[in-house]
Structure 1
Amino acid sequence: MRRERTRDTLADLALWVLLCCPVLLRAGADGGGPVATGTGIVLLGVAVLVGRRLPLPALGIVVALSALEHPQLISPEYAPALPVFGALAGRRSPRARPALLTFAGLAAAGPALLFATGGELWSWPGQLAAVFFAVVVPWLVGRYARQYAELVRTGWELADRMEREQRAVADRERIRERSRIAGDMHDSLGHDLSLLAVRAAALEVDRALGEEQRAAAGELRKAAADATARLRDIVGVLRADDEPAPTVPAGETVRALVERARDAGVDVTLHENHEDHEEATATAASAETTAAVPEMTDRAVHRVVQEAVTNAARHAPGAAVAVSVVREPDAVRVTVENGPPARPPGPPGGGTGLVGLGERVRLAGGSIGHGPCPGGGFTVTARLPTATTGHGAGATPEAGAGAGTKAGTEAGPEAAAPVTTTSARELDRARRRVRRGLWQALAAPAVALVVLGVVFFFVDQHIRARSLLERERYDLIRVGDTHEDARTRLPEHPLESRPAGVDPEPAGAGRCAYYRVHQYSDDSAYRLCFKDGRLASKAVVSDVDNEEDRP
């Protein structure tokens, strides 16, 4: 915080020094008063000082300094300060309405300023042009920079939020997978406990046993029944509220799973091999192969094949799927590979399926890997130990996290409808604001140029018409006429000064006024000189480069 404050202070000091340079240079060039120069430097320092907290008042100070120097805000001393503070006001102002009201106030105050300084109302369009191009356009640029910075910041915030949400989803999927494992254990343990209760009940009614043995058998039967009930309650608590009961048949083998997928239309083949890689062709041999596999590993193998085949059916429709289950001396290696899709795939999943699969394999003490194939397909490989190990022994804790686009869940092949999230809506709004700011920064000057061009055209035509003297009226004016008589035939306003390129007035000509000969040409003009209240001379004067065109 202290470093940022020091950096801002140094930046403000450098800005103040740079903006004071034109004021000092102008004062040294034309000998400006020290009071005006010192006041300007101090007010510029005040504007820089309050500019971060009050950007619009700081801009107002600079505009007031420019207006005091020139009614049309065209002053060499403060010309660089106007666009700088205009851009800073757009960059630092959180809302646009106060700035727009300020600009409207400046435009409305223009006529009052012109009347107070003795200027003409026809100078107001030039003042508006100066305000627009020196203040409003830099403000638009600054506002666009602010909106772009907000878009970048919003993008990073959304990325951070999405990363946290992804971690939370992965954690929830791991917990859900553990509840599925608990359900599988309920199926197997419940079956064993039920058999135990049945055998205990048989012993309880066996007359060959004594009363003490039958009572013990009855207590054993009751304990088995209570254990089964408690197991069912615990599994019910672990299962999420929105998670349905398992639909996979209890104790289903990998071969049965593959056959069920083949019946559903998936082109899937199964290879079950021993360590010597000889294919097991009989169902009995397959049962014998998996008989020695622990229950946890067996269910994990089934889960890997189920998830991989489901993902292949969803994300690579029509592709051939090859399932390989290889029994090694101390592990079972499962490989599921699919080719590129034969039809357009559905939308990508959220990656939670492989996250849960990784948790299942980790708890079984194994490892899993997945990724795209060189030919465009996808491969899932898992290795699960056949020896009984502790939960997660030798496993990769984050296996399955950050799944690729092939990841999915156990849901059917129907693709879920796209959902517009809050993060996506916020990012879309930020992008629209930036696009709108860019359009304003580019289009507003172009529109203003057209509007001001039209306004200046009509203003110029009006000014030209006010100083146009028709030839008939010029011929009626005689040398020697009084000033009052001549005024009745002259236009409302003469030209402001002698036209460029015209010879100076002759010595002793008196006070001369110039009027237009042609409304759309400045090559010639009428010169009327009055002395002692009477017209002393009149002539048609032209640019020295066009003397041959004089009438």
Structure 2
Amino acid sequence: MEYARRFPGGARAADLLLCLAITAPLLLPDHDGFAPTGLPLGWMRIAAAPLLALAVLISRRRPVAAAAVPAALGLAASPELHTAVGFAVAQVTLAFLLGHRAADRPPALWLFAGVLGAGGLALLAAPDADFEDGGTLVANVLLVFVLPWLAGQGMRQRAELDRAGWQLAERLERERHLVVHQARLRERARIATDMHDSLGHDLALIAVRAGGLKVAADTSPQGREAAEELRRSAAAAARRLHEVIQVLREGDETAPLRPAGESVAVLVHNAKASGIPVTLDDLLSDGDALPPMTERAIFRVVQEALTNAAKHAEGAPITVTMSRDGRNAVVTVTNDAPAVGTTPPVPPQNANGHGLIGLDERVRQAGGTLHAHPTAKGFTVTAHLPLSAGAPATPPRAASTTREHAATTRRTARRRALHTIGLPTAGITVLLLFMALNDHGTDSSLLEKHKYNELRIGESQQVVEDRLPARQLRPEHRPARPNGADECRYYGTDPDSFTPAYQLCFTAGRLSHKDKVVLSRVG
């Protein structure tokens, strides 16, 4: 399983730790107040250690068989599956792993029904079994088998849902990468279209000038021939360029994005004339001429930013700033948030639907970088573009993947689980340990009824002490001591309650009184 692969040392180390955890209770001392009704408990524990180790070994491939091992051991020692025999930890753990590792429910349900049936038959065959023992069997099957199995099933289903969610996210991520790739290709086609409009015009001028040179009166025959060759070459190059651009251009993109002769100033003027509150702060045009790729990229940045602001922040003021920063041109378009009570219109469906992706590709191909992000007051688009021609394209930024996000999410979840669950779990563990020690203390002060009946008044204190439990109850408020008694001791009669208790009193080194009394509280 995935948690075992993440465990330090892998699955083998996890299995070893699991084996130690489920066999450790076998080393605990016997409870004085519990006598197994099945096979001898000592021999059962000796045989249980290798059997439980085998169960852990097969639990990954045969989880039903693994869960059956501690169930059979528990039934052999106690038909009612008494938890005092030391197999409860193994039963709970392997039942949980059965639910977590096995998808099919019927085999597990058949196992639980078999345990219940086998225990019931054993109780029917026992001469001293009663209805209470049957209720104990049913309760123990529910507590140590069914409930842990249901918890394991729940964790398995949650893991499957998480896995399906991450698979869906990865598929969506692949589709998003495909859309981004297509948007970048489309923007490259637009760049080629812009180049066609510029280079096509230049080639046309070359062809016209070559034709004029051919018909000039002072041109020699060799010059006319060369001029004609130049005219034909320029015309052929223009045709080939047009054919290539027609292949790259989308069917609905019959015109370039930038009309001939239009600049950023004209673009801002037209936007202001249409009612968009936009201002231009141009500190860039006064210097040297910009490279064609940079100039066209600046136009596209302002054009796309104005379009997005008009769509998503209707009526909000827009500021366009163009300046120089060392070797780069910096273009910033900032818009405020839409006015209160203004509902932005639904963005129309355009050819690509991914304007910022195409814009980033345009800026990147020009050798620059683009940053678009929300601000406290609205939204900002900033582009840095080279002022020198021939700058290489900027490498695309690596986007975070779903797997990286999943790894980050898991690390965060583990930290939260450590803080949220770790401390309470440690506290509960300490509390359970204290309760277990307290129960063990109560059981070790339990005096069995037949031993109590065997005690005789007048027996020496040393003989009596040899048959008494190792510990005695220590009530805060002791009953009245019989007249003449030197010392009184108290021992439990019921493993589930400290009262009533047996009172044994000694006088002059001999047992003088024995009785059953009610204790108010035990310290």
TM range (shorter): 0.5 to 0.7
| TM-fit CA distance, 1:347 | 9.0
| TM-fit CA distance, 1:185 | 0.5
Q: What amino acid is the match of 2:147? A: V
| TM-fit CA distance, 1:79 | 3.0
DSSP-derived class of the 1:317 partner: coil
Determine which of 333, 340, 352 is the counterpart of 2:337: 340
Structure-to-structure mapping, 1:61-460, within 5 angstroms = 61-77=69-85, 78-106=87-115, 115=124, 127-150=137-160, 170=180, 172-204=182-214, 209=219, 211-239=221-249, 244-246=253-255, 248-251=257-260, 252-262=262-272, 265-273=275-283, 292-326=289-323, 332-342=329-339, 343-344=342-343, 353-374=355-376, 376-392=377-393, 397-398=395-396
| TM-fit CA distance, 1:255 | 3.1
| CA separation of 1:34 and 1:330: change in aligned 2, threshold 3 A | closer
What CA deviation, in whole Å up to 9, does each residue of 1:173-220 have, x standing for no partner? 444433221111011111221232333344455676455444333322
| TM-fit CA distance, 1:56 | 1.4
Does residue 4 (structure 1) correspond to residue 10 (structure 2)? The answer is yes
| TM-fit CA distance, 1:301 | 1.1
Q: Give the aligned partner of residue 45 of structure 1.
A: 53
Contact 1:187 1:250 in 2 (8 A): no
| CA separation of 1:397 and 1:30: change in aligned 2, threshold 3 A | same
Determine the C-alpha separation between the residues in 1 that align with 2:83 and 2:283.
91
What CA deviation, in whole Å up to 9, does each residue of 1:83-142 have, x standing for no partner? 222112222224445434444555566655555557678976654433222211111222
Contact 2:316 2:336 in 1 (8 A): yes
Q: What amino acid is the match of 1:196? A: I
Determine the C-alpha separation between the residues in 2 that align with 1:384 and 1:205.
45
| CA separation of 1:265 and 1:151: change in aligned 2, threshold 3 A | farther
Q: Give the aligned partner of residue 532 of structure 1.
A: none
Determine the C-alpha separation between the residues in 1 that align with 2:90 and 2:117.
22
Contact 2:190 2:257 in 1 (8 A): no
DSSP-derived class of the 2:316 partner: coil
Percentage of matched positions with identical amino acids: 40
Determine the C-alpha separation between the residues in 2 that align with 1:128 and 1:188.
88
DSSP-derived class of the 1:140 partner: helix
| CA separation of 1:33 and 1:83: change in aligned 2, threshold 3 A | closer
Determine the C-alpha separation between the residues in 1 that align with 2:317 and 2:176.
31
Determine the C-alpha separation between the residues in 1 that align with 2:389 and 2:82.
88
DSSP-derived class of the 2:30 partner: helix
What CA deviation, in whole Å up to 9, does each residue of 1:356-383 have, x standing for no partner? 3333234334444443334x21222334
| TM-fit CA distance, 1:55 | 1.5
Determine the C-alpha separation between the residues in 1 that align with 2:287 and 2:203.
22
Determine the C-alpha separation between the residues in 2 that align with 1:397 and 1:197.
38
| CA separation of 1:245 and 1:144: change in aligned 2, threshold 3 A | farther
Q: Give the aligned partner of residue 14 of structure 1.
A: 20
| CA separation of 1:161 and 1:254: change in aligned 2, threshold 3 A | same
Does residue 58 (structure 1) correspond to residue 66 (structure 2)? The answer is yes
Q: What amino acid is the match of 1:25? A: D
Determine the C-alpha separation between the residues in 2 that align with 1:176 and 1:290.
32
DSSP-derived class of the 2:315 partner: coil
Q: What amino acid is the match of 1:298? A: E
TM normalised by structure 2 equals 0.61
Structure-to-structure mapping, 1:397-546, within 5 angstroms = 397-398=395-396
DSSP-derived class of the 2:314 partner: coil
Contact 1:69 1:75 in 2 (8 A): no
Determine the C-alpha separation between the residues in 1 that align with 2:31 and 2:299.
87
Determine the C-alpha separation between the residues in 2 that align with 1:179 and 1:356.
10
Q: What amino acid is the match of 1:61? A: V
Determine the C-alpha separation between the residues in 1 that align with 2:151 and 2:50.
27
Q: Give the aligned partner of residue 30 of structure 2.
A: 25
| TM-fit CA distance, 1:303 | 0.8
Q: Give the aligned partner of residue 499 of structure 1.
A: none
Determine the C-alpha separation between the residues in 1 that align with 2:54 and 2:385.
74
Structure 2 alignment gaps of length 5 or more: 410-516, 519-523
| CA separation of 1:329 and 1:58: change in aligned 2, threshold 3 A | closer
DSSP-derived class of the 2:80 partner: coil
| CA separation of 1:133 and 1:264: change in aligned 2, threshold 3 A | farther
Q: Give the aligned partner of residue 445 of structure 1.
A: none
What CA deviation, in whole Å up to 9, does each residue of 1:228-263 have, x standing for no partner? 222233334445x68744552432322333344446
What CA deviation, in whole Å up to 9, does each residue of 1:327-377 have, x standing for no partner? 789764422110012235579999954343333234334444443334x21
Determine the C-alpha separation between the residues in 2 that align with 1:38 and 1:338.
79
| CA separation of 1:41 and 1:324: change in aligned 2, threshold 3 A | closer
Contact 1:272 1:325 in 2 (8 A): yes
Q: Give the aligned partner of residue 528 of structure 1.
A: none
Determine the C-alpha separation between the residues in 2 that align with 1:292 and 1:116.
105
| CA separation of 1:296 and 1:17: change in aligned 2, threshold 3 A | same
| CA separation of 1:145 and 1:42: change in aligned 2, threshold 3 A | same
Determine the C-alpha separation between the residues in 1 that align with 2:115 and 2:276.
74
| TM-fit CA distance, 1:67 | 2.3
DSSP-derived class of the 2:61 partner: coil
Q: What amino acid is the match of 1:363? A: Q
| TM-fit CA distance, 1:8 | 2.2
| CA separation of 1:310 and 1:99: change in aligned 2, threshold 3 A | farther
Determine the C-alpha separation between the residues in 2 that align with 1:21 and 1:293.
85
Contact 2:318 2:334 in 1 (8 A): yes
Contact 2:26 2:45 in 1 (8 A): no
Q: How many residues align?
A: 388
| TM-fit CA distance, 1:28 | 12
Determine the C-alpha separation between the residues in 2 that align with 1:86 and 1:242.
64
